[in-house]
Amino acid sequence: MADEIFAIELKGITKTFGSVVANDNIHLTVKHGEILALLGENGSGKTTLMNMLSGIYHPDGGSITVRGNEVFINSPKDAFALGIGMIHQHFKLVDVLSASENIVMGTRAQKRQGKAALSAEITEISRKFGLQIDPGKKIYNMSVSEKQTVEILKVLYRGADILILDEPTAVLTPQETEKLFSILRRMKAEGCAVIIITHKLNEVLAISDRVTILRKGKSVGTVATVETDAKKLTELMVGRPVELLIDRPDTSKAPSLLEVVHLTVKNEEGYDALRDVAFDLAGGEILGVAGVAGSGQKELCEAIAGLAKIEKGAILFNKESIAGKTPAEIIKSGISMSFIPEDRLGMGLVASMDITHNMLLKSYKTGKPFILDRKPARALAEHLVKRLAINTPDIGTPVRQLSGGNVQKVLLGREIESNPSLLITAYPVRGLDINSSYTIYDLLNEQKRKGVGILFIGEDLDVLLELCDRIMVLCHGEVTGIVEAKKATKEQIGLMMAGERQRGEVGNSA
Amino acid sequence: MPEHTITTKNAAREQAVRIVKRKELNTWKAVLLRAAAFVLALAAGGIFILMMGSNPLEAYAIIVKGAFVGSVRNPLSSIQATVIIAVPLLIVSLGLAFAFKMKFWNIGAEGQMIAGAIFASYFALRHSGMPHVLLLLTMFAAGAAGGGLWGLIPALFKVRFGTNETLFTLMLNYIALYFIKYLESGPWQGTKGFASIAQFDLNARLPNIGGVHAGWIVALMLVVLTYLYLNHSKHGYEISVVGESQATARYAGMNVRRIILRTMFISGAVCGIAGMIQVSGIDYTLSMGITGGVGFKGITVAWLAQLNPFVIAGITGIFSILEKGSGVLQSELGINAAMTGVLEGIILFFFLGCEFFIRYSFVFRKRRAKSS
């Protein structure tokens, strides 16, 4: 493999989905023994581009060259044959099988060699790249980080030397991220070409050799990592200079609004999703919730909103128990939830309905009996579109056709317009570009100034530390600590996310 | 580093045809595409007719003529017969639209129709002495209640135990059907030795309006009522939300269980009304052939119409014309009347296929080479 030959060279790649141009004339190269970061805001076309490399999508135009040969990657099988392996954001593993079974699945290896030889081979690859895995362990017994390791082994086992990782750190604690990065460096040393997709600047700076930046489906530039910094990258990514500070207005301490004591909630499978959770939240305060995905955030939101059954404990809102009340009663009392699930439209909005009908969701019961009155909802929809600069052809467009940022504005806008006294918001900036994210932070701060108590479930620790007053950390459904955001560090929270209990707790009587 | 024996052989050529999602078509184009599907369906049906040795154009002309042009003595007789075919199909299709809008797969319209017919028949057989109007209104209410309760059973099991409504409603059809058999030879037996139920008293029969039993007025009123309920009532809005996402409905504070039960009661009740109209307007008795299969045909109609009540009326019209006309086709060209079934199948097939083209389009290798 001569140095002049790129592991992958993309020329003029174009891909459209209906009227949406996801990739527009994109150029990108990566060499063996190099880590390339693919940086761009959500919706800038990173994943689409990589899916074309792994054979899931097919480009509408442009060419793909692998090791100097132009190729057409028609299926994931072709991608494997070319030595390209992708580690997807959402793992594609069979839960009930062991690590080694998942690794060999779909290859002919099982028939060729025995279990022992297979284990030996997997251990050999693990050793080479510094991965730690027990080949016999079942997937359902694994942590997220272990599952990711299996995914990586899976592609390495298939002989991939061009690896694509799609937002690999989104589900990891800071410590786990560091471990992943050392594995990636090992791969680089072994001569692999690595492409890492991310929108986190500090990670780009920490791991990559070069950065290719996408903006709105176009490649706007490639820079060497050593010659750039976070500010310059943001400018390239957003297209203009951006102030990266989040405001944290000081508000006078109001009396406690929400008190949660010894809250235990079971998930759908009957396991404890939340165990003995206790915290309080005052009006005019933003309480952040940090934790690896699936640590009980969803159940916490649903318990407060009356959607999940409370096993033990109590939730007091304005000194009154809301356990056992119906969601309708809880909405009436002034608790408002805007939960952005992973698929963004699963709860809170009806994807096939337009903005007007989504406004109706919380208010349709008011007004004349029996007859549905669309007028106030239409007015509200028009008001929100103007006030939040929602980008939509008109208020009659189904929300599924709106971009992620606009969908979130619709959802959060509706919740805020209902004048809540408690706002539960989960991942409100997930999938948003930087500009929209800041609009959302401003909206939340505006509510905070009005004395609304806000429970903010977040994923980006930097944002949590800047925006929130206090941060509660969840790990496996338990509170590992509540910290003062001004004094806390990312490392401290990271350790708590991994299960280490905080000493000298603040504002938590559990 | 694992060495590659890279065979670019299989990755050297692009696939000849790819399927890509297209942008959402505007309503006008979508309508045009569906109209094209209908014409193509007729053309495909024509080939079928041609294979049976007849001229398709002639056959279609006979079907239309047969559905509209009556005899010399009674020029309206054909239209009336067509309307009689259309009434139960229209009502049942409307009834199904309620359940389908909620994505509750009610395959039990047959059973709900029968249950309605049984309830109505009870009053026709046992309380025929009531004043005429009162008796008919009672039978109407009983029909709705019977169908509604029969529809409520699978809904109850669904919200309580999460049972599969498709199987449940389907099985209930047979229970209802064979209950008629029991009534025929048991408590409601008309004449000793014959397994049949007595004819209704004149008092329990629907009056004729315009040469056809009054059911057609009920059907047309139901079209408007269904439209208003589904599109302009709070209940209708709830149905749409529950159909799209139960999680969202619960989040919005809706009582999902109650909505499912209520909607299935309405769905069954409308089907039950169709049953009452059949026994009181056409058969004047209760027999096992009462539904004529409209409970299943209604599923096709409701889907073809995409649950729009006015379109349901239109599709019902087309299907009824086909059915009435095919009877004439048999006597004039010797083509079996089962031809309607074939034609309906072909129309359904083309419409379903057309949905695919509304959402996706094909990209051929050559075209791409040019554009790039």
Q: Which of A230-234, A374-378, B357-361 has the lowest mean pLDDT?
A: B357-361
Residue B178 lies in a domain: yes
- When pLDDT is cut at 50, 70 and 90, the band that residue A267 belongs to is confident
User: Which amino acid appears at position A466 of this protein?
Assistant: E
- The string of pLDDT tens digits covering residues A76-112 is 888 888 999 999 877 888 989 988 888 888 776 556 6
Q: Do B241 and A67 touch (CB under 8 A)?
A: no
- The string of pLDDT tens digits covering residues A316-363 is 998 889 888 888 888 888 888 776 665 566 678 998 899 999 999 988
Beta-strand runs (E) in A270-358: 272-282, 286-290, 310-317, 320-321, 335-339
Q: Which residues pair with A475 in a beta bridge?
A: A478
Beta-strand runs (E) in A51-186: 61-66, 69-71, 84-87, 162-166
The phi, psi pair for B19, rounded to 5°, reads -105, 125
What six digits make up the tokens of A371?
């007859």
Q: Do B371 and A72 touch (CB under 8 A)?
A: no
Residue B3 has pLDDT above 70, yes or no: no
Q: Does A58 touch chain B (CB under 8 A)?
A: yes
Residues of chain A found within 8 Å of residue B234, distances taken between Cβ atoms: 364-365, 370-372
Residues of chain A found within 8 Å of residue B235, distances taken between Cβ atoms: 370
CA gyration radius, chain A = 24
Residue B334 lies in a domain: no
Residue A4, judged by CB atoms within 10 A of its CB (0-12, 13-18, 19+), counts as: exposed
Residue B325 lies in a domain: no
Q: What is the DSSP letter of A469?
A: S
Residue B140: Cβ within 10 Å count: 20
What six digits make up the tokens of B360?
């996706």
Distance from CA of A61 to the nearest CA of B (A): 5
Residue B222 lies in a domain: yes
The interface residues of chain B toward chain A in range 258-317, judged by CB-CB distance below 8 A, are none
Residues of chain B found within 8 Å of residue A163, distances taken between Cβ atoms: none
Q: Do A364 and B234 touch (CB under 8 A)?
A: yes
Q: Is residue A247 within 8 Å of A71, Cβ to Cβ?
A: no
Q: Do B372 and A14 touch (CB under 8 A)?
A: yes
The pLDDT, as a whole number, for residue A254 is 78
Residue B229 has pLDDT above 90, yes or no: yes
Q: Helix, strand, coil: what percent of chain B each, to 5? A: 70, 5, 25
Cα separation of A27 and A86, whole Å? 19
Cα separation of A347 and B245, whole Å? 8
Q: Strand, helix or coil at A393?
A: coil
Q: Do B234 and A370 touch (CB under 8 A)?
A: yes
Spatial CA neighbour of B144 closest among B265, B316, B261 = B265
Spell out a b/e string for A154-182, using b for 16 or more CB atoms within 10 Å of the CB, else e: bbbbbbbbbbbbbbbbbbbbbebbebbbe
Distance from CA of B154 to the nearest CA of A (A): 24
Residues of chain B found within 8 Å of residue A305, distances taken between Cβ atoms: 251
pTM: 0.81
The pLDDT, as a whole number, for residue B88 is 97
Residues of chain A found within 8 Å of residue B366, distances taken between Cβ atoms: none
The pLDDT, as a whole number, for residue A189 is 92
User: Which amino acid appears at position A240 of this protein?
Assistant: R
Q: Do A353 and B240 touch (CB under 8 A)?
A: yes
- The string of pLDDT tens digits covering residues A224-236 is 999 998 888 888 8
Residue B159 lies in a domain: yes
Q: Do B14 and A74 touch (CB under 8 A)?
A: yes
The pLDDT, as a whole number, for residue B2 is 40
The phi, psi pair for B259, rounded to 5°, reads -65, -40
Q: Do B372 and A60 touch (CB under 8 A)?
A: yes
Residue A224: Cβ within 10 Å count: 10
Q: Do B372 and A61 touch (CB under 8 A)?
A: yes
CA atoms A471, A473, A479, A482: torsion sign? negative
Which residue in B6, B20, B234 is closest to A372 by CB distance? Answer: B234
Tell me how many domains chain B contains.
Answer: 1
Cα separation of A312 and A277, whole Å? 10
Residue B4 lies in a domain: no
Residue B94 lies in a domain: yes
Estimate to the nearest angstrom the gap between the alpha carbon of A175 and the chain centroid.
18
User: Which amino acid appears at position B9 of this protein?
Assistant: K
Q: Does B58 touch chain A (CB under 8 A)?
A: no
Estimate to the nearest angstrom the gap between the alpha carbon of A200 and the chain centroid.
11
Specify the higher pLDDT residue, B210 or B239: B239
Residues of chain B found within 8 Å of residue A74, distances taken between Cβ atoms: 10-11, 14-15
- The string of pLDDT tens digits covering residues A158-203 is 888 899 998 888 778 888 888 899 999 999 998 999 999 887 788 8
- The string of pLDDT tens digits covering residues B293-324 is 999 999 999 988 989 999 999 999 999 999 99
Q: To 5 degrees, how large is the angle CA A40–CA A46–CA A48?
A: 155
CA gyration radius, chain B = 25
Distance from CA of A174 to the nearest CA of B (A): 29
Q: Which domain holds residue B230?
A: 86-308
Residue B245 lies in a domain: yes
What six digits make up the tokens of A69?
């040969």
Domains (ranges, CATH) in chain A? 8-238 (3.40.50.300), 256-497 (3.40.50.300)
Spatial CA neighbour of B346 closest among B307, B372, B319 = B319
Q: Do A74 and B251 touch (CB under 8 A)?
A: no
The pLDDT, as a whole number, for residue B5 is 40
Query: What was the ipTM of the complex prediction?
Result: 0.83
Q: Which of A2-6, A306-310, B231-235, B240-244 has the lowest mean pLDDT?
A: A2-6
Q: Is residue B253 within 8 Å of A328, Cβ to Cβ?
A: yes
From residue B27, give the alpha-carbon distance in Å to each of A19, A319, A395, B24, B233: 16, 53, 17, 9, 24
- The string of pLDDT tens digits covering residues B92-140 is 999 999 999 999 999 999 999 999 999 999 999 999 999 999 999 999 9
Q: Do A362 and B250 touch (CB under 8 A)?
A: no
Cα separation of A262 and A268, whole Å? 20
